[in-house]
Amino acid sequence: MDNSVKQYAIFNGFTIYGVIIMELTLYWLLYKVINNPFLYVPVAAAQPISKLGFSYIGGYIADKYNNRKMYLTYSVLNRASILLSALFVYLDNPLLAVIFFLARWANVTLGAQVTETTIFKKIPKEEIAKGYYYIRLGKEILEIAGILSWPILLSYFQVWTAGIGAIVSEIGVIILSRFMSNERSKKVISFSQGIKEYFSNKTIFSVFFPLSIIEGGIGMVYFFPAALIQLMHGTAIEYTVAEVVGSLSRLIGSWVSTKITSSVKLAIGSILSYLLVFISLIPKDPWLVGLGLFGVGFGDSLYAVIFYTALKMSRNEVYGSILGIDEIVTNSIRLAYEGVAGLLYSIAYYAVPLLGFGTTLVFGIFLLFNKDWRIKIGG
């Protein structure tokens, strides 16, 4: 495997340390100033809204243009938006705080398409599981460090904890930029090529589309931990534990995936994990929100091997565009689920796990009757 993948994993982890501190601070404090699950929906939906609007553009740019310049530009705009959002939380202006939080996610989405496309081009198809594990190893270890240090930083610096995260993560970004291509693609790539590849390639569609469906369902938990824990009268301690458990699940899941060479076994493991997400909601205990996040992370980590192996079966020059159209499909579904979840948490809490079980059933049925996703894993 290209040694730069291991180096990228280390420096990416350093960046994530700062990013998680930024995100935990703003998700937590924005709910405090909003204090309503339904009104919190724009915050919980900030990521899918941004991915819906900007993923395909970001993917096309990643395929065609100078990745290093784009990555650094998006990064600066991202940190500026974070600082402005934190400022308006401090000034008790939730509307402007949410607006700049949304702006931040637009730049995150554009930058993420660049990094994801760049790094997975370097990993051979037969080493997807191992490469994914290395990336997760660096990311999750330092993410856990960030989660554990967050409550301490928050107690001293309050909303300005987000600024500390912005500075640390920007240092990591500058180092990471050296892994990015500094040249434009020499191939002529039309704007619609990725869309055509997504829908015409049976393997790509059969792997990507069912994942989009279940991602909508689990988004009802994954994007709401801060709101759920406070709704259940929990504290920052339960929130910290939940986020640590979520990070550990992705680390453990990515390691387990290196030991499995059957796409069917990986898919079954994912289904069982996604069921756990909704089972954890039933007792209505803030300590069990972490169990739900474990189900999300473990299931996603197993299915990611199928996902990225399928991506390697498409044309290299349209990776970014394919990932972009996938994000549009996924986040269209996520937004619908999150809007419903925000309302149901307020008026009919137990309808959420019921909807989640139904969505997991649909995911399982799709995989049962469609065989095109059953691909060879590893060498």
Q: pLDDT at position 194, please?
A: 85
Give the tens place of pLDDT for each residue, 29-44: 999 999 888 888 899 8
Using one digit for the tens of pLDDT, what is the confidence trace for 3-35?
A: 778 888 888 898 999 999 999 999 999 999 998
In the predicted structure, residue 156 carries a pLDDT above the cut 80 = yes
Selected residue with higher pLDDT from 297 and 4: 297
* Mean pLDDT within 129-155: 92
Residue 181 has pLDDT above 70, yes or no: no
pLDDT at residue 202 in the model:
94
Per-chain mean pLDDT for the chain: 90
Q: Does 1 have pLDDT greater than 70?
A: no
* Structure-token match 């900030």, residue found: 46
Per-residue confidence (pLDDT) for residue 66, from 0 to 100:
63
For the chain, which domains are there? Answer: 3-181+192-369 (1.20.1250.20)
Classify residue 286 by its DSSP letter.
G
- Dist. CA 53–CA 65, nearest whole Å: 19
Region of residue 252 (left: phi > 0; alpha: psi -120 to 50; beta: else): alpha
State the average pLDDT over residues 238-253: 95
pLDDT score, position 270: 98
Nearest Cα to Cα of residue 298 among 347, 344, 246: 246
H or E segment and range at residue 87:
helix 67-90
Of 242 and 114, the one with more pLDDT: 242
Confidence at 379, pLDDT banded by 50, 70, 90: low
Rounded to whole angstroms, the Cα distance separating 19 from 107 reads: 13
**Per-residue pLDDT tens for 186-231?**
565 677 888 899 999 999 999 999 999 999 999 999 999 999 999 9
Task: Give 351-373 pLDDT, tens digit per residue.
Answer: 999 999 999 999 999 999 999 99
Contact 282, 174 (CB under 8 A): no
Q: Is the pLDDT of residue 164 over 60?
A: yes
Q: Are 357 and 221 in contact (CB under 8 A)?
A: no
Structure tokens at 257: 């995936």
CB atoms within 10 A of CB 152: 11
Contact by Cβ (8 Å): 75, 173: yes
Q: What is the pLDDT of residues 46-81, one digit of tens each?
A: 888 888 888 888 887 777 776 788 888 889 999 999
Handedness of CA 38, 239, 165, 7 (dihedral sign): negative
Burial class (CB in 10 A: 0-12, 13-18, 19+), 107: buried
What is the structure's pLDDT at 45? 87
The torsion of the CA quartet 14, 19, 22, 27, rounded to 10 degrees, works out to -140
